[in-house]
Structure formats: structure tokens, C-alpha cells
Amino acid sequence: DQQVKQNSPSLSVQEGRISILNCDYTNSMFDYFLWYKKYPAEGPTFLISISSIKDKNEDGRFTVFLNKSAKHLSLHIVPSQPGDSAVYFCAASSNFGNEKLTFGTGTRLTIIP
């Protein structure tokens, strides 16, 4: 039972344009959401997070939007750069989960120069 879903396995975006990665979840107990970025042969690295008390969090070129009613979050990257090419995982946790994260299946983002 996949509680966190990323329905797009891959996405290609032109350099300089906006990249939008989507994530849906089913567990209404999730109250904290994170995005991780993973390059080949490296472990995932934390990118940005958002608490359920907010609907938007911004950090430089990266913005995460949360729509609780739709159980949907998205990561916007503006402008997209070649170094953004990687696999992106969304993850979620609940206050009762003791910092246990549930990850999505990942989206491979390719930035076309």
C-alpha cells in the first residue's frame, strides 16, 4: 500500500524554465513533508520541507506547496538549472511516527540545456 505516490517517473524541462514535481499522499495523519534529491551513486540529500500548518515554504529557487484538502504537495524549481538533474523523492511523517519517513517512488528530473 503506497501511502506516498509520485505518479510521474520522469520529467524533462528546458533549462531556465519551471520544473514542477508532484506528490500525493493518502495517510491523513501525515503532518510533515520533505523533498530529497538524489544523484547517481550518492545518498539522498535533504532539499526542503513543509509543516502541515503552512501551505507554502520557499528556499531560494525551490518552493514547496501543500494542499491538505487534496492531500497533494508539489515542488517548484525556478529557474531550472542543469545541476538540478537528479531523482527527487518526496517523503512524509506524522507526529506519532517517531521521525519515521515514508518515501514516494521518485521522479527523475532531466534539465535540457
Partner 1 sequence: DVKVTQSSRYLVKRTGEKVFLECVQDMDHENMFWYRQDPGLGLRLIYFSYDVKMKEKGDIPEGYSVSREKKERFSLILESASTNQTSMYLCASGTVGLRTDTQYFGPGTRLTVL
The neighbouring-strand residues paired with 56 are 65
d(CA 84, CA 37): 9
Min separation Cβ 32 and partner 1, Å: 5
100 phi, psi to nearest 5 deg: -80, 130
Site string for partner 1, 1-30 (x = CB under 8 A): ---x-x--x---------------------
Q: Which residues of 58-96 are buried (b: 16+ CB within 10 A; e: fewer)?
A: eeeebbbbbeeeebebbbbbeebeeebbbbbbbbbbbee
The 51-90 site mask, x for binding partner 1 (CB under 8 A), equals --------------------------------------x-
CB of 103 to partner 1, least distance (A): 4
The residue ranges that bind partner 1 (CB under 8 A) are 4, 6, 9, 32, 34, 36, 41-46, 49, 89, 91, 93, 95, 98-106
